[in-house]
Structure 1
């Protein structure tokens, strides 16, 4: 073990000495979907419409929850936070992508790349924690309804939200810190439509094995912990539902859980496949499609799924709409 560490240290030092005389790159080119010149305008218009609907839908849901006192309960507090994260996630990726559809230069500076990456990892990780928190909230509401007001207090809800955002930020800062040890001197072409960790590691001229290990450890741990929490919560919920004899209660519980499980599946599916298959150099196009799904499509669908399947949200929206007409 000691000899292996000495070998890694010596290799890193030799690479750093060789890179001192190399020209270091401070700007990158985002290729993404922009090589298809015939489709640029249709793609620009399509993603512009998607982005506007996403922002209006998520911000509208936040305003609705904020204005209606009946929605000032933990479930909708978490839902409003999820809508905020979705709006931020979409705004991290889509505006730059829209600009690159029309701009001649697809360049992005190293500092802009790091800022975009930090915001992306923060929002993606925070959303994972929020989905796990919402699953736990549904577990308490369905399995322990009498203790729900005692367990899910406003103080606990705020603590869970703060921990989710702090966890997302810390996860992003860890990867940012390890990225600063890398240098880029061979290629500045990022085969993606935004700055992501894996595409950056692939074009680094520094040994990035430590960075790949950090992605595997931390991103993997976040996904395993949050997915595990969600699966355990909904498994217990399922058994609790099956024990109930009330058909009405079963339908209500299944409807509520279904509204949560659908966006969870849509979010975690592409995210898991992305990090499992992105280590292969042939996976660039597939990686972009999976990234597009959970950074652009899921933030668009979430407010629709949660709103259209929630009678209380629909009732609140109808009430607010009639009062403003």
Structure 2
């Protein structure tokens, strides 16, 4: 690994990329090597900066708002790095690396595992970003139709439908008809909030699936449970709800800002008492498996 370290120090990125690819092709466990992880993190940050500067709204959000006005004189790359990458990015914004190659993404599916109650919010996660990713990079977007209010174990069926059958929602939040479903090959997973323990629970029961999952990105996930979910469950577990008649009331107890759609899908599957496998000690099942 001394060779990789020398390439990093010399900023010899073309040879570094070539060497890392050869190492990983030889043995995927080489991803665990410190020099490889260090390079992958640096490369990811560089790609992020170079892609983010293409979006005017990202640059605008990164501008310093000066008390007496005046223009933010920093370069766009420095603004993005300082705003979104905090302590690591600002020191790397001016690195010049080779252009990223996205041509091999056409056989890759980005699988999104949604979080607790995500289907009830008026603005869906990545609702603008997912169509853009499909259009610009050719990666296929597939969203698991995970139920918003039931256990990790119960949601295994929805995740398996996505991974093994290609069923779920597309980039535009439309349900994919079974006749149009195409089983994905390799998958890159973004797991949000409860979507992370949902995924971990699935992998603990189906470890064979790890061969097809190339990467897992944990976005605000709760792999060890959630104190908020614990307290939420404790506050509503003894309330006798008729879901069909009092669903709006239940949701308002959880969060007053949630706007309940006029037509709720799979309403009969909502089950408050089914949630404990997500909200606490039962997640030890995932850790120990």
Same topology, TM > 0.5: no
Q: Which has the higher strand share?
A: 2
The structure, 1 or 2, with the larger RCO (C-alpha pairs under 8 Å, 6+ apart) is 1
Normalized against structure 2, the TM-score is what?
0.24
- Structure (1 or 2) with the greater helix fraction: 1
